[in-house]
Structure 1
Amino acid sequence: MTILTETYGDVVRLPVHFDDLDAMGVLHNSRYAVLVERAIVIWWQERGVAFTGGGPTTPDAFNVVREYAITFHRPITGTGEIAVYFWLDRMGRTSAEYGFRVTSEDGRTVFAEGRRVNVRLDAATMRPAPWTDHGRELAAALLKN
């Protein structure tokens, strides 16, 4: 069970597989971004914001990562479950600023933490577009107080 003491954000538990490890037996640095991506995608998919049949289920599913920053604290050594805790620091007109922590399954050990900014795009123009009201309502559950 993951310990979550904050009243904002959410936690998604994910497995670390053998092929995620580097030659030293630790999680390869590039895999942290993948784990954060998977956690955020799972959260939105569970709320109906996804890609199905080759297209977005809602306009809010059409977004891209604009920025990504991470600080590594301790290596993840070996396979097993980890937890990705994430939240929204800010929901702008066209962007969403996530904060995240990659932790042990119980949340007591922080392996890495960082920031990620997503921008919603208009599928026709590939230019920034406002989040829908429905997307904002869903995102409110992640907003840091």
Structure 2
Amino acid sequence: MIEYGVCEPVQVHFDDLDAMGLLHNSRYALLVERAISAYWHRLGWAPDAAVSAFKDVFLAVREFKVTYNVPIAGVGEPLVHFWIDRLGRTSGVYGFRVLSADRSVVHAEGYRVNVNLDPITLRPAPFSDELRTAAAPLLLPAVPVPS
């Protein structure tokens, strides 16, 4: 059961597989990108500021870490479970897990750090209030610290 974040189905195609019929290691990052993009696209985000529901359209990946647990064999429709661990002033950290369709197997897990950039200077820029509001459902719930 998923108690936080979002699960997005993604497609593994034949050309995503390596010579052994397993999902190629580089494709896990692509699955995560597709899942996160699909979520934000439904909310009105677009890479073109003229048509996007958000001012923040120039985001760059600063860091991406994947730990591979169990290979995905063959084509199919796994799930990407993702959430936001932290949303700072100019950057955010997504946590993610690539799951089997029935959610019983964690194929891979990791995190991705995004930085919001000013499109002219290419320097970090603060996230807009609109993006912060839209991102709120993805934020990992705070765990109370025992006193």
Number of matched pairs = 140
- Paired with 1:112 and 1:56, the residues of 2 have a C-alpha distance of 34
Cα deviations by residue, 1:20-61 (Å, 9 ceiling, x for unpaired): 000000000000000000101111111011124x86723222
Structure-1 residue corresponding to 2:12: 16
SS in structure 2 of the partner of residue 87 of structure 1: strand
Calculate percent identity across the aligned residue pairs: 55
Give TM-score, length-normalised by structure 2: 0.91
- Paired with 1:77 and 1:55, the residues of 2 have a C-alpha distance of 41
- Paired with 2:8 and 2:123, the residues of 1 have a C-alpha distance of 30
Structure-2 residue corresponding to 1:110: 106
More strand, by proportion? 1
**After TM superposition, what 4+ stretches of structure 1 lie above 4 angstroms from structure 2?**
none
1:70-109 residue pairs with structure 2 within 5 A? Answer: 70-109=66-105
Which consecutive unaligned segments of at least 5 residues does structure 2 have?
A: 142-147
- Paired with 1:61 and 1:9, the residues of 2 have a C-alpha distance of 22
Residue type of the alignment partner of 2:89: R
1:132 aligned onto 2:91: no
Structure-2 residue corresponding to 1:5: 2
Give TM-score, length-normalised by structure 1: 0.92
Choose 1 or 2 for highest CA Rg: 2
- Paired with 1:115 and 1:42, the residues of 2 have a C-alpha distance of 18
Question: How far does residue 142 in structure 1 lie from its aligned partner after superposition?
Answer: 0.2
